[in-house]
Structure 1
Amino acid sequence: MIKCRLSFQVLRTGLSLITVEIVQNQEDTSLFFFYRYCFQFQDYVMRCMYTITRYSPVKLHKIFIEKYKGIDMEAIKKCFSASGIFLCVGIAVSAYEVSQGPTELIQYDPSRAYEGYTLFSPMLGRNTYLIDMQGQVINMWSHPEPWVRSDAREHARLLEDGTLLRAYGSPNGQTPSALKAGLFQIVDWDGEVVWEYENPREGYSAHHDFRMIWNPKLGERTIMYITSREISHEEAIRLGVDPGLRENYASRPDGLIEIDLKGNIIWEWNISDHLVQDVNPASSNYGVIKEHPERLDPNFGTGVSGDWIHANAFDFNESLDHAVINNSTFSEFYVIDHGATFLVGDPEGSIELAAGRAGDFVYRWGNSCVYDSGECPSMTNEGMSTSNGHQQVFFSHDIQWITSR
């Protein structure tokens, strides 16, 4: 029987030294670990994105293969997959939360870095940190128990007045997602809650990204966030999803919701209203895929999932009054005309406009193969890539407007 055991040691520098052991025929040991954001256990080695690790992924590979070359690697892979652990080594942030010791500046080149501050919330951590360019903690916000207890992807944004907009998994969440049902708070510099909002609608789950924006038509600040909406198998079929690809199409199409600071929903957009498909002629969105780049083909590919676009991020351009949202599933992003679909004082009219033609994509980019207007990537039977085709973006997890400085 093969088991996985992970141990770590906090060093004086604030770095953590992680040891992974493969245990054969031994009782379970408790796992105490921290993780940030890692690639999956691939090629039987840990590959981490965090740059301050003591060892590079290549060296980790050599160490791992040398130490465990006599062990059944398939069993090891299953062990890690079954435990559901995404590991990352050398995480200074997590070590800091344990030791409360001083942080250490690893590298700083003023000629190549913008002056400013960095705000971050370590995954599975209890705090959000604001640090300066020397790595010193300027402020720390501690979070309530649901932040820690949930499997939320902790996230926070520093607002212009020095308050913190944060979100975490609500205990009332109905579906598994990065933010559960979505509980949002604004807290002051000292961590006192000055505003709170919880998504009130059943079947809707906020996830991944959110931000405070300036609504130019309304002339005030609002909050916009990514949300998924649960739809049934029957509704998905009515929308033109190919029934021959899966037995159950209960789905979670993503979209955007905007609320005012009184907690009222004032605008909403969802990808399920902007589809084109060539499977079901009886559906109103039936058409030729290539002729409708302003809409999404939900049947693209061979294994259509219930997570249609898996939006990880969005951004808002206040000058254009446009939103942009990414699609990590199809490796694209879409620009949406918020201004053309927002009516002041008329939330129902705004939502209706956003669900219609005015809410179709103004622009899309990343993978023209998706709408039958470019060469698709090609692979061998073994899954090895031979050509990227015309695809420009690959499993993107962020999208930002670039403004001049």
Structure 2
Amino acid sequence: MRTVRYLCVILLCVLSFNCQNDDDAKDIINDNPNPVLTENVEVYDGNLIDNSYTLAVENGGTTSYLLDKAGNKVKEWLFEDNLGNDLELLPEGKLLGIFKSDNPPFSFGGFGGIVKIINQDGSIDWEFEYTSENYISHHDVELLPNGNVLFIVWEKIETAEAQANGVATSNPVYPEMLVEVNPLNNQIVWQWRSFDHIVQDVDPTLLNYGSVSDNPQLIDINYNVVDNGDIMHANGIDYDQDKDVIYLSVNYYSEIWVIDHSTTTEQAATNSGGNYNKGGDLLYRFGNPSAYKNTEGTRLFYNNHFPNILEDNEPGEGNILVFNNGTNNSQSIVYELDIPANFNLIPNTNNEPNIVWSFTDPELFNGRISGAVRLKNGNTLIAEGSYGFWEVTNNGSIAWKYNGLGASFWRCYGYDLNDQEILDLNLE
């Protein structure tokens, strides 16, 4: 069902180069408020910026790079394969990313197929291909604290099976899965299937019939039936170690789903077991009450990306950042939301979280990709997919803007100068 490929030769070229001018790089590191800026930097306020690096992840491209706030590329990576979107920097100078298969069985936007850990010299530390005629990994990948790797998968459900389960379709559908693999032995140790947790109110003679609004823990499988079968289009994951749950961004439902990771694979297919004793049913969901026919609560998201739990070393610890693409009015918003301490998904009530902070601007809009991270000084770094990057303060002041001059960005990550991932790169 899966193919694992080990490479004994270098499959990709890695190009790293220092700042355009070493003195300019030192100016940034030493907090000089007036460094020499590249043409990409449209706003630079030395009194407001966070003195950190930005990992710029080009959308589906063959390159990513580390920027200083003057706009210099202090390191650049060139890849043999196109990114299947996500790429993150790990300690020891390694990269974790998802890359595109040469022969995908289906190729919706953001398809991948291959997960890699790449060494600093460009050699392959680990590679795992998860693609067949019935599934393909896509969009996002996460290294878990236990050393396993988690990623999103499209699963093909043939037309007859979909129809028997109450899907109002004339074509195959491709709902979401989550797969966790142990890179030491390439064994799949856990998985969750959205198709195990569906409800439909279209035909009482078919499987999964019930009231959508009375079952918020289940997924209305007919919420977004489209001809090509890409009915959910999940695009992002984040793992909360304290609660042992996964946050899954489901773009076409305009929601974030919360899934219990403490279950076994067998329990994840049911509605019992795990720390919350709900199996693989949704523990919590937010962003779009209409997705489960709930008339209470105010809709927050119109397409969304990157659920990002703020960790214990980040201002806003325990809250979550989400990029609302804002396709309803061509206006994107970054939300910081207060996630409930105890998940309590109640039918026909307002289940939406409280807004702690938000940022928008008349010039901030991208209908796809994009995301936001919190920096150490409390600023928020935003990737506006078709433009570049914004750094904004808690009161909404713009500290930094970087124009990609035509480049498209999947996401960005901020790294402090003293983060181990940066120290291990030996940039100086």
For the superposition of Structure 1 and Structure 2, which TM-score range results when normalised by the shorter chain? 0.5 to 0.7
Helix, strand or coil: the match of 2:217? coil
Helix, strand or coil: the match of 1:398? strand
Q: Which residue of 1 aligns with 2:45?
A: 109
Q: Which residue of 2 aligns with 1:239?
A: 165
| Cα separation, 2, equivalents of 1:111 and 1:366 | 35
Residues 177, 194 of structure 2: 8 Å contact kept: yes
How far does the alpha carbon of each residue in 1:127-156 deviate from its partner, in whole angstroms, 9 at most, with x for none?
221122332222222111x32xxxx54431
| Cα separation, 1, equivalents of 2:208 and 2:61 | 45
| Cα separation, 2, equivalents of 1:135 and 1:209 | 26
The answer to whether residue 303 in structure 2 is matched with residue 395 in structure 1 is yes
Structure 1 residue 331: Cα displacement: 1.0
Q: Which residue of 2 aligns with 1:138?
A: 74
Higher helix proportion: 1
How far does the alpha carbon of each residue in 1:58-117 deviate from its partner, in whole angstroms, 9 at most, with x for none?
xxxxxxxxxxxxxxxxxxxxxxxxxxxxxxxxxxxxxxxxxxxx7754333355443322
Q: Which residue of 2 aligns with 1:380?
A: none
Structure 1 residue 238: Cα displacement: 1.6
**Mapping of 1:236-315 within 5 angstroms?**
236-242=162-168, 246=169, 248-261=170-183, 262-300=185-223, 306-315=229-238
CA change 1:372–1:178 in 2 (3 A) is closer
CA change 1:164–1:186 in 2 (3 A) is same
* Gap runs ≥5 in structure 2: 1-19, 21-37, 272-278, 315-428
Residues 277, 287 of structure 1: 8 Å contact kept: yes
Helix, strand or coil: the match of 2:120? coil
Q: Which residue of 2 aligns with 1:370?
A: 291
Return the match for 1:354 from 261, 268, 271.
Answer: 268
Letter of the structure 2 residue corresponding to residue 279 of structure 1: V
Helix, strand or coil: the match of 1:370? helix
Structure 1 residue 192: Cα displacement: 2.0
Letter of the structure 1 residue corresponding to residue 79 of structure 2: H
**Mapping of 1:299-338 within 5 angstroms?**
299-300=222-223, 306-338=229-261
Letter of the structure 2 residue corresponding to residue 312 of structure 1: N
Q: Give the root-mean-square deviation of aligned CA atoms.
A: 2.6
Residues 200, 220 of structure 2: 8 Å contact kept: yes
What TM-score, normalized by structure 2, do the two folds share?
0.58
| Cα separation, 1, equivalents of 2:222 and 2:111 | 27
| Cα separation, 2, equivalents of 1:177 and 1:305 | 9
Residues 232, 252 of structure 2: 8 Å contact kept: yes
Q: Which residue of 2 aligns with 1:66?
A: none
Return the match for 1:163 from 94, 104, 110.
Answer: 94
| Cα separation, 1, equivalents of 2:91 and 2:133 | 32
Return the match for 1:118 from 44, 50, 54.
Answer: 54
Structure 1 residue 270: Cα displacement: 1.8
Structure 1 residue 210: Cα displacement: 1.0
Residue-pair matches, total: 270
| Cα separation, 2, equivalents of 1:134 and 1:142 | 22
Q: Which residue of 1 aligns with 2:375?
A: none
Letter of the structure 2 residue corresponding to residue 208 of structure 1: H
The answer to whether residue 103 in structure 2 is matched with residue 172 in structure 1 is yes
**Mapping of 1:200-239 within 5 angstroms?**
201-214=132-145, 220-239=146-165
Residues 156, 165 of structure 1: 8 Å contact kept: yes
| Cα separation, 1, equivalents of 2:299 and 2:228 | 21
| Cα separation, 2, equivalents of 1:256 and 1:221 | 16
Letter of the structure 2 residue corresponding to residue 256 of structure 1: L
Residues 84, 113 of structure 2: 8 Å contact kept: no
Letter of the structure 1 residue corresponding to residue 307 of structure 2: I
| Cα separation, 2, equivalents of 1:258 and 1:112 | 40
Letter of the structure 1 residue corresponding to residue 152 of structure 2: I
Residues 179, 206 of structure 1: 8 Å contact kept: no
Structure 1 residue 305: Cα displacement: 6.2
Residues 175, 181 of structure 1: 8 Å contact kept: no
| Cα separation, 2, equivalents of 1:226 and 1:251 | 16
| Percent identical | 30
* Gap runs ≥5 in structure 1: 1-13, 15-101, 215-219, 342-349, 376-388
Structure 1 residue 251: Cα displacement: 0.7
Letter of the structure 2 residue corresponding to residue 192 of structure 1: S
| Cα separation, 2, equivalents of 1:178 and 1:277 | 27
The higher radius of gyration belongs to 1
Q: Which residue of 2 aligns with 1:382?
A: none
What TM-score, normalized by structure 1, do the two folds share?
0.61
How far does the alpha carbon of each residue in 1:258-299 deviate from its partner, in whole angstroms, 9 at most, with x for none?
111132111111211111112233444221111100011112
Helix, strand or coil: the match of 1:186? strand
Helix, strand or coil: the match of 1:267? strand
| Cα separation, 2, equivalents of 1:333 and 1:191 | 35
Q: Which residue of 2 aligns with 1:344?
A: none
Q: Which residue of 1 aligns with 2:400?
A: none
Helix, strand or coil: the match of 2:42? coil
How far does the alpha carbon of each residue in 1:304-335 deviate from its partner, in whole angstroms, 9 at most, with x for none?
86222111111111111100111211211110
Q: Which moved more, 1:298-307 or 1:110-119?
A: 298-307
Which structure exhibits the higher relative contact order, with contacts defined as CA atoms closer than 8 Å and separated by 6 or more residues? 2
Higher strand proportion: 2
CA change 1:212–1:390 in 2 (3 A) is same
How far does the alpha carbon of each residue in 1:347-398 deviate from its partner, in whole angstroms, 9 at most, with x for none?
xxx32211111101100111112222216xxxxxxxxxxxxx8322111122
| Cα separation, 2, equivalents of 1:234 and 1:397 | 32
